[in-house]
Amino acid sequence: MTAASGAGRTLDGDIDLDALVEIEQRLLWLSSRMIDYANRRGRTEIKVGGHQASCASMASIMTALWFAHIGGEDRVAVKPHAAPLYHAIKYLTGELDASYLTRLRERGGLQAYPSRTKDPDVSDFSTGSVGLGAVAPLFSAATRRYVDDHFGARPHARFIAIAGDAELDEGNVWEAIADPSLQNLGNVMLIVDLNRQGLDRIIPGIQSRRLMSYFRDADRCGPLRRIRVDPRAVRLIRPARPPDRDGGSRVSRPSVRRGHSLSSMP
């Protein structure tokens, strides 16, 4: 995982909120423009989609992660519908050629969902199969623990999953969270984007309430422990806090911060 962690920090290491907000605005514009261009490409009336709302609701969180939080050893599973935002990040960090910005959802271009085998800006996890990306970091963290225990410790790494709230409908998510073999990992974070956007419905709050109640009881919280993120996402995600060392990992619950300042798009 290559990250421009220094871009959102001052020379003395503090969080540069003004820089993060500027980066966030650039990412919002780039991802929206990529989707807009893809749907105007060609001579057909058929649209290819692109999930603008799902990108907009994750812009603050992913800006904070990539530009002020994660490091070279960290691994992130990006929620499928935030793929354009991920590619915009990779363009800003110099890991994606500008020619690909006009090739979203095109044969040989950028895939609809993050793909390790088909995208030029290789992601840490392929997350096109809904629900699998949400739990892949859990099993990766368990594998890393095994390797460290048997072959010598490597530099510390965190494993982060970014999931949409609709993915909580997938049974494998709950099975993985409750799996006894995944207890006490200590280096896993699950970020659930509660934007209530679904392909066929408005996502009800029942699954998010289920998730919160699941972690309310510390005695049965399994491998994860809940934290809450304020709606003012960029300003209140304070990435200076180190990962938990007491065997608990964290679930972040960002509220929606919808896209703004997009009316200036050509």
Check which CATH number belongs to the domain holding 139 and give it. 3.40.50.970
Q: Does the residue 223 lie in any domain?
A: yes
* Burial classification of residue 231, based on how many CB atoms lie within 10 Å of its CB (0-12 exposed, 13-18 middle, 19 or more buried): exposed
Secondary structure element (H or E) that encloses residue 52, with its range: helix 52-56
Q: Are 137 and 75 in contact (CB under 8 A)?
A: yes
Question: Could you tell me if residue 266 is inside a domain?
Answer: no
Using the predicted structure, report yes or no on whether residue 220 has a pLDDT greater than 80: no
Query: Does residue 263 fall inside a structural domain?
Result: no
In a domain, 103, yes or no: yes
Between 240 and 76, where is the model more confident? 76
pLDDT grade, residue 236 (50/70/90)? Answer: very low
Please check whether residue 38 lies inside any domain of the structure: yes
Does residue 225 surpass a pLDDT of 80? no
Q: Are 181 and 142 in contact (CB under 8 A)?
A: yes
Of the candidates 28, 31, 25, 19, the one whose C-alpha atom is nearest the C-alpha of residue 68 is 19
For residue 251, the SS3 value is strand
Query: Does the model's pTM come out above 0.85?
Result: no
- Whole-number pLDDT of residue 253: 43
Give the pLDDT confidence score for residue 89 in this predicted structure. Answer: 94
Which amino acid type is present at position 31?
Answer: S
β-strand partners of 261: none
Indicate whether 243 belongs to any domain. Answer: yes
pLDDT for residue 160 is more than 90: yes
Look at residue 240 and tell me whether its pLDDT is greater than 50: no
How many domains is the chain partitioned into structurally?
1
**pLDDT bucket at 244, cuts 50 / 70 / 90:** very low
Q: Sorting pLDDT into bands at 50, 70 and 90, what band is 97?
A: very high
Containing structural domain, residue 63: 5-252
- The answer to whether residue 36 sits within a structural domain is yes
Buried b (16+ CB within 10 A) or exposed e, 113-143: bbbeeebbbebbbbbeebbbbbbbbbbbbbe
Sign of the dihedral through C-alpha 180, 188, 83, 197: positive
- pLDDT higher than 70, residue 257: no
Query: Which two three-digit tokens encode residue 71?
Result: 């490091």
DSSP secondary structure letter of residue 54: H
Mean pLDDT (the chain, rounded) = 76
Among the ranges given (77-91, 155-169, 219-233, 245-259), the one the predictor scored with the smallest mean pLDDT:
245-259
Eight-state DSSP code of residue 76: E
Residue 261 lies inside a defined structural domain of this protein: no
